[in-house]
Structures are given as C-alpha cells and as structure tokens.
Amino acid sequence: MKINIEGLLVYFPYDYIYPEQYSYMLELKRTLDAKGHGVLEMPSGTGKTISLLSLIVAYQRAFPLEVTKLIYCSRTVPEIEKVVEELRKLMEFYSKETGESSNFLALALSSRKNLCIHPEILHANIVVYSYHYLLDPKIADLVSKELAKKSVVVFDEAHNIDNVCIDSMSVNITRRTLDRCQNNVDTLQNTIRNIKETDAAKLKEEYRRLVEGLKEANVARETDVYMANPVLPDEILQEAVPGSIRTAEHFVGFMRRFLEYLKARLRVHHVVQESAPQFLKDVFDKVCIDRKPLRFCAERLRSLLRTLEIADITDFSPVTLISNFATLVSTYSQGFTIIIEPFEDRTPTIANPVLHFSCMDPSIAIKPVFERFQSVIITSGTLSPLDIYPRILDFRPVTMASFTMTLARTCLCPLIVGRGNDQVALSSKFETREDFAVIRNYGNLLLEMSAIVPDGIVAFFTSYVYMENIVASWYEQGILENIQRNKLIFIETPDASETSMALEKYQEACENGRGAVLLSVARGKVSEGIDFVHHFGRAVIMFGVPYVYTQSRILKARLEYLRDQFQIRENDFLTFDAMRHAAQCVGRAIRGKTDYGLMIFADKRYARADKRGKLPRWIQEHMSDGSLNLTVDETVQLAKHFLRQMAQPFRQEDQLGLSLLTLEQLESEEILQKITQIAHQA
Amino acid sequence: MDDQGCPRCKTTKYRNPSLKLMVNVCGHTLCENCVEMLFVRGSGNCVQCDTPLRKSNFRVQLFEDPTVDKEVEIRKKVLKIYNKRDFDFPSLRDYNDYLEQVEEIVFNLTNNIDVENTKQKMEQYQRENRDVIQRNKAKLTREQEELEELLLLEQQGNEQRRLETLQEEQRQLQAKRKNKQALLDELERSQLPASILLAQHKDRAAQLETQIEKQKQTVKPTTIFSTGILMGQTVSLQPVARIVEELYHYKPLKIETYGPPVPELDQLSRLGYLNHVRASMPQDTAGGYTSGLACHRAIQDAFSGLFPS
C-alpha cells in the first residue's frame, strides 16, 4: 500500500499495517527531518525492519540531496540475510507500482566471500553490513572511510552496542601472544637483512618517504573528508613519523624492546591495575620508549609489511596486535585501564598471566560515527531504560521513543514467581544458590510447567556453573526423571557444535509433538541469536536475575569509571545490564502478533520497582499487580488459563481494525489519533 | 625466563628458582653465584666473549633477551648526553633527523659497529653542547616532579570522591531507616487514626525520594579551568614583561565647514533661535527635555549641508 506520512509518500509492500509500524515510521521521519540522532524501542516481531527500510527509501527518493545513503548495521549474518530479503520485496513492490525499474543499488557485505570492491560502495544507495565495519577502528579505516556525511546510519538490535564498542577497543595479551610476536619480530629482522642484500632500493624508497613525511598514496576521493580514525586523532595523522623509528632496523629494535618490556610486566605475582599514563611512565623508565613513537607504531608496521611485500599477513597478527595496543595506550589518557592478572580467578593454581587493556568508555569508539553522520538511529526491542544509552554513549538524540504492541488479544503473559509452594523465597542470589529448598522449588516449577505447556519450553539460567549445579541437584532429587516423563530435556554447552546439535533435536521434538525443554544460559549463543517462534517456544522461564560476574576486576574498573564520569550508580548499571539480558531472553518467544507465549520470571527480585521498571514497556504493560509475587501453584493456574484462551482459533479478521489496519482504516480519524498516542516519549 | 640457564654452571638455575641472572656491558649473562666466584678480585674476563669486565658493572637482568638489557643500559647513558627536546629545533624535520642520529649511535654501540668513531662523536657533541645539556637536565627533573604531583593529586581526588559517595549512600540509608522508625513510633503513641499517619508517612517518604533524586542529578563540581589548568594547582608563571605605552589623550573632533560656526546650545536663546520652536510644556521639562535640545539638533542638521562634498 501507499501511505502518506506527514506529506511523505511511502511505499509499503504489504496490504496490512500495524498501528505501531505507522507510529514508528512517523517518529523516524521526524528524526530525519531534524537531522539528528534517535533512540527507538520497538518490540520484536512487529515488522521493524520493513518499516525502517520503506521509510528511509521513500525519504531517499523524495529528498535525494538530503539523504544520500542508508547504512544498515546488523549483528549477525542471518540478520543481514533477513534484511536483504525484505529489501528485495520492497524493490519489487516499487517496480510493480511505479512501472519503472528502480535504479537503487544495495550492497551487502558479510563474510570474506562476499566482500565488495570499494568503488562500488561509493555508488550504492544502501549498504548492509555488520557493526564492526563501522565501529572497530582497525576495520572501519579500511571499509568505511569513504562514506559520505549525508547518510543515515541504522544500528539494529543495538541493545548491546556499548559492549561491542568496548570490545573493539580492548586488547588482551597473553604469554603465548608475546612468544608468537617474538617469532614475528625475528622473521621481520631476517627478511630485512635478506632484502638489504638483494634489493635495497625498496627500503631506501620507504625511508625517503618517511623522511619527507608523506603518507601512503591515497586513492583520489570524490567525497569529502573521510571518517576520522579514533585510534589516532587528526593532528597526529598529519604529522610525520618520528625519526627514531624511520629506518627498518631501528623500528625492529624498537619493537623488540617493547616486547621485552611486556614480557617483564607479565611476570608479576600479584594483580596490578594502572592507568594508561602510569603505564607509559613505566615504559619510559624501564626501556626509554617515548610516547610519540609508540603512537606511530601501527602505521609504521603497516608500511613495513607493505614494503617487505609479505604475502600472508595473518602470520603477523600477533605483532599487529601488539602494535595496535601500543598505539591505543599512547593515544588515550582517559577511559582505559590496564589490568595484569597472574592467573585467572577461578583457576588460581595455573599460571596464566594476562594483560587486559580494556576500554571503559564506549563513547570513544562510537564518537566518530555520531560526529560524522547526520542521522544515527539506534533501535532494538529491548532498550529500556532509554535514557541510559545517550548517557553512556555520550550523544544528544532528538528523539527517544518507546513503542508498544497493539494487540487484539493479549498474547503475552509475563508472570513473576517469587515463592515456592512452601513459601520459600526463590532467588538466584549468591547466598541462596546452594539452598536445597530453593533448588527443589525451581525444579518443581519446571516440572509443573512441563506438564501443562504444550510443545517447547526454553529455560534460561544465569551462568553455566549455576546451571550445572542445579541440574546435578535435580538429578539427585529425581526431578529430572519426572520432567522426562513429560518432555525431553536438552542442554546448551559452551561447545558450539554440541549446542547446535541439541537445538536441532529440540526443534525436531517440538515438531513431532513429543515436546522438549531446552536448558540454556542467559548470555550464551542461544539467547543472542535463536528465535523460538510459535510452538518452539510456548514458555520461557528465567531462573534468577542474570547478573554478570560481579567480581571481575575489569567490570569493577568500568563501574568506577561510569560512576566518576557519568554519575551512573554501580547498582543501577548492573541492574540495567541484567534486565536487558533478561528482556532479550524472554523476547525470544514472541516473534509476531499471532505468536503467543508465557514469560516466567522466577526470582523474587523481579517484583521490585527498580528491576521491573527496567523491563521494556511492551512487557511491563501486561504485568498486573496481582502477578508480581506468585507461588508456583498460582503460576500454574494462571498459565493454564492463559494457554487455554490462546488455543482458541484466532483469525486475521479478528485483528483487523485493532492491531492490523488496511489503508482505509489507517486514514480514519480515530485511528490516527490512537496512533499518535502509541509513541511514548521517554 | 625461568628456562634460561646460567651459561657456566647450567644446572643451577633450574634447581634454584630464586637465583638471579646478571648482565654486564658486553651483553652476556651469568648467575649471581658465578659472578661471585669469577669476579672475587673485582675484575675479570667475560666467559663467552673474553672482554675485560668489572664486577660493579653487573646488573640484575630484567629482560629475557640480554642484548635488550645491554641496549637499554647504553641508551640510558646516551640519552643523558643527547637530551635535546623538540623545542630546541627550528623544525620538526630537524628534530626527527636528530632522533635518527641518536638511534644510529645506540645501534652502533650495541652491535659493536664502529665503536671508536661513535665514542669520539659523542665526546665531541658533549663538548659542543655542554650548556644545552645542563639546561635540559634541570628542566627534565622539574617536569618529572610536576608529573608526580599531578598523579598524586589525581589519586587523592579519586579517594575523596569514593569516600563521598559512600558517605552519601550511608546517609540516605539512615534517613530511610529513621523515617520508618518514626512511623512505628507514631503509630504506637499518637491518637490519630492509622490511615492519617500512613498518609503522612507516605508524604515524608516521597519527599525523601525527591531529595535523593535531586542529589543524584547534582552537577559534578568542576575541577578544571577552561585553559586546562587544574583548580587549586599553583602554576608558576614566568614574570610578565612590563610594557610601557603612551596614554591616550582625547582630542575633540574638528570639522572644516565653509560657513559660519554652529551656535552652541547655551547661545540659542540669546540669538533668538528658540522663538521658532514650540516651547516645551511643563510635562516635557519634568523628564529633562528642553526646546533647546530639539532646536540644536535641527540647526546641526541644517548646517551639515554646508560640508564640502
């Protein structure tokens, strides 16, 4: 259908539209008009992707000078494939309606086999790729530097974007890395010696270029200034490489010294935490290495590898890693911390020294994106509370809105189980983890659920260790046996192939009616990527609140930094992180308006206002006050009632007028009024 | 590092993990015991390369590669002499060339290439640039002290902030507890019905909440001026040079007209101009208006037509 959104003609490739899709497109248009950034939360399974694409494509066609490109960033390859499918449908609709074949070019970059040649990217109207191509400074430089300013960037499923930013700027160095780097450095030295005897001209040429201060010959660019590399601030990029690392031998000697210093640092017997400036001071004291040559390390190494014409770059990844680390540590004085651990906390007897150079400030990696592009949209199904994202990513959005699902029948049923049948409080708090009664009550909950819920149930635990403990206790108590009488049990493990096998068999069991329970972990692969539509997930049970391991030193440093810089309390941040994972997990079960599912939060802490308030709006509004602290029996009652209701036949005509609209209904006055009320400004 | 052995007594290192390896100026290692044994007279020859060595030159090995130890030693000595900084040079290119020179020297000395010439070059440089070296030495120590001060201040600031937030949280917790206790006491003692007391308590709790919220929003006090200088830091500035300049004297504007001079404001009534202007009413004069003002302006307008074009 063709819709009119505040004067813009939008081609929507389906005959029916959800009211919240219209509302979403309205907010999006306003954000683009204001040429600013936006944070939009829309529940999963409500056609977010197609709304985004149709509105932005329509905007591009209407104002080709305002928005030249759409850059769509997604997390995983299956998501990229989904986006490309929707885009194809949209383009077919366009060509059917307007009669002309569209001259839109869309490009999708996924793995190495699908990489494009960069001139094409300049002409494409729509580019689809993964976050890392835009956020990771090492990759962004190669792939994204030619993108024009007047583009719209969309980050889909962006609830974890702060972790992505932090990971892209963090470096972990182990003893093994250093040993391999030593080999690399030796190889480099030998190669240089050989080349000097055979073809010294190449090295001389490189030397001359470095003396003159010329950068590597860049391809002539038609577009304006390329995206600044956050690894090196602009002024430094224009400076010449310092004289102490001009010749190849001096540079190799320099790397060798730095490497030896790192090896010496890793030989500690206790934990060391220091800031980047302290580290640099120590480097200077011990091996007389200045800050400036460290900054140019990465660039100098690249130039050297190119001059020596090394064929297989991947062999040199350890030394590249060390040079990246050197550049990062010398560039940023704030927002990073260095933690050296002689062994991992959980295995104190095994000597495994690691140097963690961790970024504590996600805004550093994403700042060039916000500054360079005129509109950046961050969207996901679980972005609550909305105001935390602008604070930790340090940007000012013109729109922050949260949308709910309009439902003809309430197809989700969130329940908070706080007590067992013996009134023992249920919780995954550290103190109560070994409590026999709590474990037995959890087992009872799962057992009862497996008796009444048809087809598949997915259960999420807070960690692998916790899951293993509980499952072992259940086995001893005989609960597993009872569950197996109702449904088969599958379990997720840290191994990828085992998990995919378990997943396959789980789906088979759900298909043929035997029914199954999948036990998995809240931060594992299953919770991040797999959808449990329809009968694959009729109930989702969250055992406990999925807090991250709070004793990790990196986390503690990060929390301290957030408290000092952004005035975010540690507790608030930990709760926010735990709740967004919980919301992600339960959101797996609902993938559309005809889908229905139970969402069971099995922990008494969920009833507290500070945790409940951090759930997305579209889950919160279906929680009634009476469902906040149920016992297992009451839960079973409510669940039975809900399931029986949902099992009644439900046709599309029932939805029309309420949660599904045709074009005529859309244009009626009352619907338009209702739509403007859907968007809740945060 | 632990799998390296002393080149002389080989086995002793593995059996005795607390044993240290020592490095001398020739770049070869010896374990502590061997050093004691071989250099009992204070000087001797290196086991591997036979260069004459002194016992006092042995330093504990920090790095796995003894050549790196040797290089770092040499570098430190060289840098004591070649300590020019980037502002000592007219251009960046010159500074970079100087840096490259220094690297060459260190490289030569470490790999025993052309040692004599290099040493001579160093001595010559030292003689020529004695005063620059001295000056930079003094500057360096001063800078290091400032840096240490800054780091100390930063640490103190962090500690303080942490303590403050802890105290704040404690206070809030106590306030909440007091509130609850007050409610219980009132329910016990007071004559008012329970519903009113509960309503009062709710009000007080809400007030407390808003107070806490407001505190959370308080802006972080600034610790740094816009120039980048920390507040409270004593900045030693160079004395400002005294600049003497001429004082400005006002000279009124003189314009040449080719006609009679414009009459002054006080001459207007005498010369009879005021007769042609509406007299000012008492209300006008209250604000300070006189008909002379309007007249004077009109006359100036008229006389301005006399200016040469």
A180-189 pLDDT, tens digit each: 999 999 999 9
β-pairing verdict for A336-341 and A680-681 = unpaired
pLDDT score of A577:
93
Task: Tell me the shortest Cα–Cα distance from A431 to chain B, in angstroms.
Answer: 22
- Nearest Cα residue in chain B from A264: B63
Question: What average pLDDT does range B226-248 have in this prediction?
Answer: 73
pLDDT score of B231:
67
Q: Do A576 and A465 belong to one domain?
A: yes
Per-residue pLDDT at A587 exceeds 80:
yes
In a domain, A568, yes or no: yes
Percentage of chain A beyond pLDDT 70 is 92
Choice among A142-146, A166-170, A437-441, B145-149 with the minimum mean pLDDT: A142-146
Per-residue pLDDT at A134 exceeds 90:
no
Q: Do A354 and A443 belong to one domain?
A: no
How many C-beta atoms surround the C-beta of residue A115 within 10 A?
11
- What pLDDT digit, counting tens, does each position of A324-343 carry? 899 889 888 888 999 999 88
Percentage of chain B beyond pLDDT 90 is 1
**Of the segments A204-218, A338-352, A536-550, B97-111, which one has the largest average pLDDT value?**
A536-550
In a domain, A197, yes or no: yes
Question: Average pLDDT, whole number, for chain A?
Answer: 86
- Per-residue CA distances from A588 to A282, A381, A537, B138, B263 (Å): 49, 10, 8, 66, 94
Between A260 and A675, where is the model more confident? A260
pLDDT score of A114:
53
Between B80 and A503, where is the model more confident? A503
- The count of structural domains within chain A is 3
Q: Do A450 and A584 belong to one domain?
A: yes
pLDDT score of A304:
87
pLDDT score of A210:
79
Q: Which residues of B touch A261 (CB under 8 A)?
A: 63
- Per-residue CA distances from B110 to A118, A250, B103 (Å): 46, 12, 10
β-pairing verdict for A151-156 and A375-380 = parallel
Per-residue pLDDT at A214 exceeds 70:
no
Confidence of residue A231 (pLDDT cuts 50, 70, 90): very low
Contact A576, A552 (CB under 8 A): no
- What pLDDT digit, counting tens, does each position of A407-416 carry? 888 888 999 9
Q: Do A428 and A556 belong to one domain?
A: yes
pLDDT score of B267:
83
- What pLDDT digit, counting tens, does each position of A80-94 carry? 888 899 999 998 888
Q: Chain A 558-597, CB below 8 Å of chain B: which residues?
A: 560, 563-564, 567, 569
In a domain, A667, yes or no: no
In a domain, A234, yes or no: yes
Distance separating alpha carbons of residues B277 and A191, to the nearest angstrom: 103
Question: What average pLDDT does range B60-77 have in this prediction?
Answer: 86
Which conformational region is residue B184 in: left (phi greater than 0), alpha (psi within -120 to 50 degrees), or beta? alpha
Contact B298, B265 (CB under 8 A): no
Choice among A34-43, A340-349, B71-80 with the minimum mean pLDDT: A340-349
- What residue type is assigned to position A345 of the chain? D
Q: Give the closest of B93, B100, B151 to A244, CB-based.
A: B100
With CB atoms and an 8 Å threshold, state whether B98 touches A243: yes
- What pLDDT digit, counting tens, does each position of A490-504 carry? 999 999 899 999 999
In a domain, A674, yes or no: no
> Which CATH number among 1.10.10.10, 3.30.40.10, 3.40.50.300, 3.40.50.2300 corresponds to the domain B1-61?
3.30.40.10
Task: Tell me the shortest Cα–Cα distance from A285 to chain B, in angstroms.
Answer: 9
Sign of the C-alpha dihedral, residues B222, B223, B226, B231?
positive
- Predicted TM-score (pTM) of the model is 0.77
For residue A458, which of A517, A508, A534 has the smallest C-alpha distance?
A517
pLDDT score of B111:
85
Q: Which residues of A touch B151 (CB under 8 A)?
A: 277-278
Confidence of residue B205 (pLDDT cuts 50, 70, 90): confident
Contact A380, A161 (CB under 8 A): no
Q: Do A530 and A395 belong to one domain?
A: no
Confidence of residue B211 (pLDDT cuts 50, 70, 90): confident
In a domain, A196, yes or no: yes
Question: Average pLDDT, whole number, for chain B?
Answer: 81
Per-residue pLDDT at A111 exceeds 70:
no
In a domain, A324, yes or no: yes
DSSP string covering A432-488, please?
GTT-HHHHHHHHHHHHHHHHHS-SEEEEEES-HHHHHHHHHHHHHHTHHHHHHHHSE
Q: Do A51 and A151 belong to one domain?
A: yes
- The CATH code of the domain that includes A496 is 3.40.50.300
Q: Identify the domain containing residue A115 by its residue range.
A: 2-158+374-402
Question: What average pLDDT does range B88-116 have in this prediction?
Answer: 86
Sign of the C-alpha dihedral, residues A292, A294, A295, A296?
positive
- What pLDDT digit, counting tens, does each position of B46-58 carry? 878 888 888 888 8
Task: Tell me the shortest Cα–Cα distance from A281 to chain B, in angstroms.
Answer: 10
- What pLDDT digit, counting tens, does each position of B259-307 carry? 777 788 888 777 888 888 888 888 888 888 888 888 888 888 888 777 6
In a domain, A365, yes or no: no
pLDDT score of A233:
45
Q: Do A385 and A446 belong to one domain?
A: no
Choice among A216-220, A595-599, B166-170, B270-274 with the minimum mean pLDDT: A216-220
With CB atoms and an 8 Å threshold, state whether B63 touches A264: yes
- What pLDDT digit, counting tens, does each position of A590-639 carry? 888 888 999 999 999 999 988 998 999 889 989 988 889 999 999 999 99
What are the residue boundaries of the structural domains of chain B, listed by start? 1-61, 265-304
Q: Do A13 and A133 belong to one domain?
A: yes
With CB atoms and an 8 Å threshold, state whether A281 touches B147: yes
pLDDT score of A400:
92
DSSP string covering A250-273, please?
HHHHHHHHHHHHHHHHTT-SS-EE
pLDDT score of A237:
54
pLDDT score of A524:
87
Confidence of residue A255 (pLDDT cuts 50, 70, 90): very high
Q: Do A330 and A187 belong to one domain?
A: yes
CA atoms within 13 A on the CB side of A418: 11
**Could you tell me if the ipTM is greater than 0.90?**
no
Q: Do A9 and A140 belong to one domain?
A: yes
Q: Which residues of B touch A286 (CB under 8 A)?
A: 62, 72
